Structure 1
Amino acid sequence: MADTTTVTPFTLDVPQSDLDDLGRRLRSTRWPERETVEDTSQGPRLAKVQALVEHWATAYDWRRAEALLNGWGQSTTTIDGLTIHFLHIRSAVPSARPLLLTHGWPGSVLEFRHAIGPLTDPEAHGGSAEDAFHLVVPSLPGFGFSGKPTTTGWTLARTARAWSAVMDRLGYTDWFAQGGDLGATVTAELAALQATEDIGLAGIHLNMALFQPTDDEARNASPAEQAMLREGGHYWQELSAYSQQMSTRPQTIGYALSDSPVGLASWIYAMFQDVGGSHDEHGDVEALFTLDEVLDDVMLYWLPNTAASAARAYWEANRTGWANPGTVEHPLTIPVGLSVMPGEYVRRSRRWAERRYSDLVFFNEVARGGHFALLEQPELLVADIRATFRGLR
């Protein structure tokens, strides 16, 4: 597909035959036996997944989610031969500044659903007009309704360069960026690109910092930093099987996730279960999210059949050593805001962050919330985003 600078409106209208096929697959599920423990240490519990699937088959309404996406306004453009899908929601406030939001895995553009109103129309949500943003929310390559790479090389750094092209095509020359999970790395890559090419990026906000503490920092960690290291170690040893699988054999898991909607749903549900919420809330998906919120997210993998292509993002990142801009030797110089969620297993201290982000304009240890920060605690995170960028306008 030849590249152009064209931005094309996109309307989502999933064929009813695709929804009928999904219903047939759900009704013919072959279930495993119940887990042999009374907790989630073997993965999502059978009764929980069966309840999720029962709701999916009998009460869930995809057309509601479809109308929500269409109502925000969707577009596509072609970059490096790949279709990039994105939401573009303009604020009615004349002085609004553009803000690029990047999701992670197993997230989607719907990760930001509760923040869109407060960010674009702050006066209606307890803010002031000076806090208004125009939002650009792309689907990562191989995710949602973006195209699926057919060759290797779509790294997170390349994705950042594509995001810069999207902003340029929309006519934005002075803008901000925000991200968590894979989106945090893309956002940091944008900051590194700004340092060398002046792409118009004026500042970033992260709700996850993916740099690794140095050996010296680990040896001299404070008690709070030692707790961060322990919890990160627990996550890697007990909860990261999905990451190791997708980082090394994405095609293998792709066959199962592409064929079985229940397999895909449980694969994603496990993440909502294990890393959603503050530490005292881990494991209780239904207390943190509605079943529709979980299933809307699953559907953005099921309908476009992107389980395998999304998994390959981990394989690409693993090939480059999970490089993340912002090091002690080469810190990011752009203004950075960092929100640390208490339930996030990958947490970093202000002291560590200041060594990687030489202009750390905002740092906050958020009161509640976990990995899906803007979905779980939109009010708290929107306040942090406003505080980060207010002085940079």
Structure 2
Amino acid sequence: MQPFKINVPEPALTDLQNRLAHTRWPDEVEDAGWDYGTDRAYLKQLADYWQHSYDWRAQEAKLNAFPQFKAEVAGLGLHFLKIEGQGPNPLPLLLTHGWPDSFFRMLKLIPLLTDPAAHGGRAEDAFTVIVPDLPGYGFSDRPAEKGYDAKRMADVLHELMAKTLGYKQFVAHGGDWGSSITEQLALHHAGSLLAIHLTDVPSTHAKSADKLPDLSLTEKAWLVKNKAWQEKEAGYQKIQGTKPETLAYGLNDSPVGLLGWIIEKFHAWSDNDGNIEHTFLKDDLLTNVMIYWVTQTIGSSVRLYYETMHNLALGAPTHVSVPTGFAIFPKDITPAPREFAERFFNVQHWQEMPRGGHFAALEQPGLLAADLREFFRQFRAAH
């Protein structure tokens, strides 16, 4: 376990500038907006800002203000943040991100959890927070072998927490792939988990929902809505789950291609009233994309879809016995109802939020932090 600092070589930034300057823009039909994919007018505006105004070195310094480490875990170099809690007996909390993001998803959330007394909370609710980059994401190593699905990711994170960092028990939170990986942690390493907290029911369960007995009217209505979303919005899953390498050639080579692919998801999945910058700053959008660009991890990140789709066991019915809390944000991707979640989890907490979307830790860190404090409070005595 060694201290880690981000320091992107200057030639990589010069190369980025050259590529941005020589972008070949496609045509579009009149009044396309976001209907056909990423809006060209907005993408041009954002790419221009990226080329002429965005300051990576300033953003790099902000990232490096967090204590970072890299350790060999399960044969891979794993990058992670570890921030000590400011309070009596802080509870260790693993935060797991999803796609298309990295450890960056959690940065606004971290200070609210590690130092709650400085942010309107109580010192006794402090957490020591651990935020890894998943294998193949951000500054973690890229796996060179097959099989890094959600379960294997969970095994890696368990080794980080239990062996590298020495936590006998801890709590965990995740969203998107982070929900699937946290579920796998609870299924296969239940003895290490005091409780888990999720922002969504892992999507693998919806794929076999038609076969479940006694679906309620609420569940049936949700499944209809979810299937409609799959037909209209889930093309990226099919590509990334079947031919990820074909996609990676273009996205790894073109910064604007990468930007367009990722930004469309931040627009579609967030609570923004049709304007992405109602929710995200340009600098935050670009820093998230920059992490993919400078590490060349877009290809390795999307392979998680392929690996998980090809492990049929991950779609089998299961039930997590570990106490589970949910924070459901209204503009997330077709949020499942509680009765569906209860089929797979020991649901002890269910909070429906007034606002926010898929990227809850970035969009509504205050709401999410308050819910994490509230739910995990009952498990502190066991720590």
Q: Please give the range of the TM-score, normalised by the shorter of the 2 chains.
A: over 0.9
What is the TM-score of this pair, normalised by structure 2?
0.94
Over residues 214-269 of structure 1, what are the superposed CA-to-partner deviations in whole Å (9 max), with x where a residue is unaligned?
337687433x5444323312221111111111100010010000100000000000
Distance 2:308 2:343 in 1: 23
Distance 1:346 1:77 in 2: 37
Residue of structure 1 equivalent to 2:194: 202
Over residues 54-112 of structure 1, what are the superposed CA-to-partner deviations in whole Å (9 max), with x where a residue is unaligned?
11011111112211221111111112321111111112223111100000000111111
Q: Structure 1 241/218 Cα, relative in aligned 2: closer, same or farther at 3 Å?
A: farther
Counterpart AA for 2:368 = L
What is the TM-score of this pair, normalised by structure 1?
0.92
Distance 2:289 2:84 in 1: 27
Aligned CA RMSD, in angstroms, stands at 1.7
Which residue of 223, 244, 254 maps to 1:260?
A: 254
5+ residue gaps, structure 2:
none
SS at structure 2 position matched to 1:18: helix
Matched, 1:286 2:274: no
Over residues 266-324 of structure 1, what are the superposed CA-to-partner deviations in whole Å (9 max), with x where a residue is unaligned?
000010011111xxx36421111111111010011000101111111111111113826
Counterpart AA for 1:39 = G
**Corresponding residue pairs, total:** 376
Counterpart AA for 2:115 = D
Q: Structure 1 71/140 Cα, relative in aligned 2: closer, same or farther at 3 Å?
A: same
Contact 1:373/1:381 (8 A) holds in 2 = yes
Could you tell me how far 1:147 is from its partner in structure 2?
0.5
SS at structure 1 position matched to 2:189: helix
Residue of structure 1 equivalent to 2:178: 183
Contact 1:209/1:346 (8 A) holds in 2 = no
1:152-191 → structure 2 map (5 Å cutoff) = 152-168=146-162, 169-191=164-186
1:1-393 → structure 2 map (5 Å cutoff) = 7-168=1-162, 169-195=164-190, 198=191, 200-210=192-202, 211-212=205-206, 214-215=209-210, 220-222=215-217, 224-277=218-271, 281=272, 283-321=274-312, 323=314, 327=317, 330-358=318-346, 360-393=347-380
Counterpart AA for 2:311 = T
Contact 2:125/2:373 (8 A) holds in 1 = yes
Could you tell me how far 1:11 is from its partner in structure 2?
1.1
Contact 1:26/1:53 (8 A) holds in 2 = yes
Distance 1:293 1:101 in 2: 19
Q: Structure 1 322/46 Cα, relative in aligned 2: closer, same or farther at 3 Å?
A: farther
Contact 1:362/1:387 (8 A) holds in 2 = no
Counterpart AA for 2:55 = D
